[in-house]
Amino acid sequence: MKKLLLASILPTLLMTSAFTPTVNAADYIVDYKGAHASVNFKIKHLGYSWLMGRFDKFSGSFSYDAADLSTAKIEMLVDTTSLNTNHGERDKHVRSDDFLDVDKFGSAKFVSTSITDNGQNKLAINGTLTLHGVSKDIIIDAIKIGEGKDPWGGYRVGFSGTTKIGLADFGIPDTLGPASSHVELELHIEGIRK
């Protein structure tokens, strides 16, 4: 009888909070379908002006808990064929093997390795960017915009971030002169909790 009672109680004990692993971070999906996220870039054109653009297709997800950033992580996938500078001929040229070579490298990927809290909602997101077939460590300077319930019964959190990358670092031909050797990336990410 005691063995039977112990056998029936043991599974219940194992399922109590004392034995259940704590899940700190909530999982979010980037709200690109609702156009509440964007991946933008700018590069100097010969040092005379800024060329602005964006990638129209991307996806991503992240885990985030404001109380414990050690559990936070983000992964983004960008469709480089969706590059859009609002000028068809230029887009075709930038997509060509003169620059991004999207027929060969149709996507770029970022995976975080660590996130540091710099205070006042500022974060340093360390991770690996794979672009044009080359993987390099980068740091995204980010800021948390806010979080809370949305009008549709969900829960959201949003961030923006910037980073600067060298074309040559990713094997992209640097043919526009020294003023145009780097691209500035600007990310606006709003996530919906799963």
Q: How many domains does the chain have?
A: 1
Range of the domain at 89: 24-193
- How far lies 71's CA from each of 21, 29, 124, 132, 157, in Å? 13, 16, 14, 29, 16
Give the pLDDT confidence of 79-125 residue by residue, as tens digits. Answer: 999 999 999 999 999 999 999 999 999 999 999 999 999 999 999 99
Show the CA angle centred on residue 113, arms to residues 111 and 119, nearest 5°. Answer: 110
Structural domain contains residue 5: no
Question: Rounded to two decimals, what is the model's pTM?
Answer: 0.85
Structural domain contains residue 2: no
Instruction: Report the C-alpha gap between 51 and 46 in whole angstroms.
Output: 10
Structural domain contains residue 102: yes
CATH of the domain at 126: 2.40.128.110
Give the pLDDT confidence of 40-62 residue by residue, as tens digits. Answer: 999 999 889 999 999 999 999 99
Q: 1: how many CB neighbours lie within 10 A of its CB? A: 5
Structural domain contains residue 12: no
